[in-house]
Chains A and B, each alone.
Chain A
Amino acid sequence: MKKFIGFVKKEFYHIFRDKRSLFILFGMPVAQILLFGFAISNEINNVDIAILDKADDKNSKEIIVNLKASKYFNVLDYLQSEKEIETAFQKGKVKAVVTFDQDFARNLQRPKTSKLQIITDATNPNVANTITNYINSIVVKYQMVNLQQDPPPQLVQSESRMFFNPALESVYMFVPGVMTVILMLVSAMMTSISITREKEVGTMEILLVSPLKPSTVIAGKVVPYIFLSLINAIVIVLLSVFVFQMPIMGSLFWLSIESLLFIVTSLSLGILISTLSSTQQTAMMISLMGLMLPTILLSGFIFPIESMPYPLQLISHIIPAKWFIIIIKSIMLKGVGFSFFWKETLILVVMTIFLLGLSIKKYKIRLA
């Protein structure tokens, strides 16, 4: 055990003295989250909305004209009744429904009553907020210009409803994606490079000649990266929650368990790559081409799997990242329980056991 601690300590020296490692470990996750976050949360032009106009009077019509004229909104649909609201969301395009009450014209004259209702998709509270604010300002402007009223404080009542809507991608979709890529990068690429480095410079031989067990050597190389990956996952979640107001809908417990599982999957891939390559360069190339590229392109992170050509859809099944993204998407964004993602978890567990077994076997063969 003391030997093991000494080993881990040495591993941390390597990591903290290498600028490249430090950048990948701490610069990348923060940069990626901020980049994606700001790029996406500013993107609220041309939001598709639907309108349920129960008032159907002069005022409501004029406000609708103003909404349509603004560059922020695009009126996609006119609904006839409350019942159609849910289907409008489920069709997937609409991000908000604006409802005018029957007595809208009369309410407009009275302070302190709500004039109109905005129903938004609760999976995007950030966007929902912005939409509400924009609509609010359009209505206020209309009142001031057309009715010569002073703006009363509370005009629009907004309501967020949770619509379970698989087609509508959340703006927070990038968080599970970034998290997956970063965990893969740290766990698989960094460990494979760090193990091959010992082979390349010759220290691996010294370690194998020493009384250390090969399993201790591998564990010693891997444990620091488990630790750092977990820290990374936490940083990503904290940034998403506190900088971009992403709600974590589901259980933090399951989020940690599943992340740990995926870290182990990635680590076994990293060990496997290190048995296949004898130089750091090779390890890096295999990791980038064989892991990062498929993870980014085929996991559903950037391109939706449903719209891929069929052969690629088949390939995507063997990419662990795809299953992990489904799982943490369910936990973070949908807030559903384990019964909704146990199948994906099982697939990931089976993959991990297979990869771990394979990498241990390969590692032993290499020693012979």
Chain B
Amino acid sequence: METTIKATNLTKSFGDFTAVDKLNFEVEKGEIFGFLGANGAGKTTAMKMLIGISKPTAGDAMVANYKVSTQADLVKKNIGYMSQKFALYDDLNIKENIQFFGGIYGLNAKTLQQKYQQVVENLGLENYVKQLVKNLPLGLKQKLAFSVALLHQPKVVFLDEPTGGVDPITRRQFWELIYEAADRGTTIFVTTHYMDEAEYCDRISMMVDGKIKALDTPKALKKEFGAETLNEVFLNLAR
């Protein structure tokens, strides 16, 4: 198996407060890796170090076979990112968003047109093509943002609470998209605090106060803690 993400003693402190404390883990190619934790556990902070927009206080990470500390440019070319805030341009339409975000990764006009048609077809956006993105329902915006993060076919895609604020059915649909991407070999690194979503992951890590307290497949974790659900496991750890 090929390792795509590797964190070594990854640490971030803000003054006296350690938000992320010596993380060590590996994620394999094509894996869906769930990064769980309550609000404030340090998920976003850890992810920002992995994608190179926040400097670790200590430790380092490898992403897509490149060292984040020294090869940030190469890392950037090979990753996609969907931030916690829903982040497409509200005042642009679907096509303009795709042209812009694909364009900054160097995709040419022909490819962009193809991608645009694919995305519209895939997500059933035909009725929205003339609208500005701000008029799309939240669920569709999230799916669109995910598709946009995948435009340049990154090796790894980082999703920070991608399904915040939508109902379980829409979440389920979103996960279909994640499975499709993983099937094509894309590594998925996803944070969430929804325990139902954790069940969909290949492996999950549970983070409490900046530290990883448990890391395994959902099945193994439930077995280890003698719990029925992942929620029980999590409550056990958080105590």
A positions within 8 Å CB-CB of B:
2-3, 6-7, 9-10, 13-14, 17-18, 201-203, 205-212, 367-368
Q: 18 A-B contacts, Cβ less than 8 Å apart?
A: A3-B104, A6-B100, A14-B91, A17-B91, A201-B85, A201-B87, A201-B90, A202-B83, A202-B86, A203-B87, A203-B88, A203-B89, A209-B53, A209-B76, A209-B79, A209-B81, A210-B76, A211-B105
Closest to A203 in B: B87
Number of A-B contacts (CB under 8 A): 66
B positions within 8 Å CB-CB of A:
51-55, 73, 76-77, 79, 81, 83-92, 96, 99-101, 103-106, 132
Closest to B89 in A: A203
User: Are A6 and B103 touching (Cβ within 8 A)?
Assistant: yes
Q: How many angstroms between the C-alpha atoms of A65 and B18 in the bound complex? A: 88
User: Are A6 and B99 touching (Cβ within 8 A)?
Assistant: yes
Residues from chain B with a CB closer than 8 A to the CB of A17 are: 91, 132
Select which of B53, B76, B77, B106 is within 8 A of A3 by beta carbon: B106
Q: How many angstroms between the C-alpha atoms of A6 and B204 in the bound complex? A: 39
Residues from chain B with a CB closer than 8 A to the CB of A2 are: 103, 106
Residues from chain A with a CB closer than 8 A to the CB of B89 are: 10, 13-14, 203
User: Are A211 and B73 touching (Cβ within 8 A)?
Assistant: yes
User: Are B53 and A205 touching (Cβ within 8 A)?
Assistant: yes
User: Are A202 and B84 touching (Cβ within 8 A)?
Assistant: yes
Closest to B48 in A: A205
User: Are A13 and B91 touching (Cβ within 8 A)?
Assistant: yes
Q: How many angstroms between the C-alpha atoms of A203 and B90 in the bound complex? A: 10
- Given A13-B91, A209-B51, A367-B53, A6–B83 Cβ distance below 8 Å? no
Q: How many angstroms between the C-alpha atoms of A40 and B79 in the bound complex? A: 60
Q: How many angstroms between the C-alpha atoms of A9 and B168 in the bound complex? A: 38
Q: How many angstroms between the C-alpha atoms of A201 and B89 in the bound complex? A: 9
Closest to A9 in B: B100
Residues from chain A with a CB closer than 8 A to the CB of B55 are: 368
**5 smallest beta-carbon distances between A and B, as pairs:** A202-B85, A202-B87, A6-B103, A209-B81, A17-B91
Residues from chain A with a CB closer than 8 A to the CB of B51 are: 209
User: Are B87 and A10 touching (Cβ within 8 A)?
Assistant: no
Closest beta carbon of chain A to B64's beta carbon, Å: 13
Q: How many angstroms between the C-alpha atoms of A6 and B103 in the bound complex? A: 7
Residues from chain B with a CB closer than 8 A to the CB of A201 are: 85, 87, 90
Closest beta carbon of chain A to B10's beta carbon, Å: 16
Residues from chain A with a CB closer than 8 A to the CB of B77 are: 211
11 further contact pairs, Cβ within 8 A, besides A10-B100, A210-B105: A6-B104, A7-B100, A18-B91, A201-B90, A203-B89, A206-B81, A206-B87, A209-B52, A210-B104, A211-B77, A212-B104
Q: How many angstroms between the C-alpha atoms of A64 and B67 in the bound complex? A: 90
User: Are A206 and B101 touching (Cβ within 8 A)?
Assistant: yes
Most buried by B among A7, A10, A206, A212: A206
Q: How many angstroms between the C-alpha atoms of A3 and B152 in the bound complex? A: 14
Q: How many angstroms between the C-alpha atoms of A3 and B100 in the bound complex? A: 8
- Given A212-B104, A367-B53, A10–B96 Cβ distance below 8 Å? yes
Q: How many angstroms between the C-alpha atoms of A208 and B87 in the bound complex? A: 13
Closest to A210 in B: B104
Q: How many angstroms between the C-alpha atoms of A362 and B118 in the bound complex? A: 41
- Given A201-B85, A206-B101, A13–B52 Cβ distance below 8 Å? no
Q: How many angstroms between the C-alpha atoms of A2 and B104 in the bound complex? A: 9
Residues from chain B with a CB closer than 8 A to the CB of A205 are: 53, 81, 83, 87
Most buried by B among A3, A7, A203, A208: A203
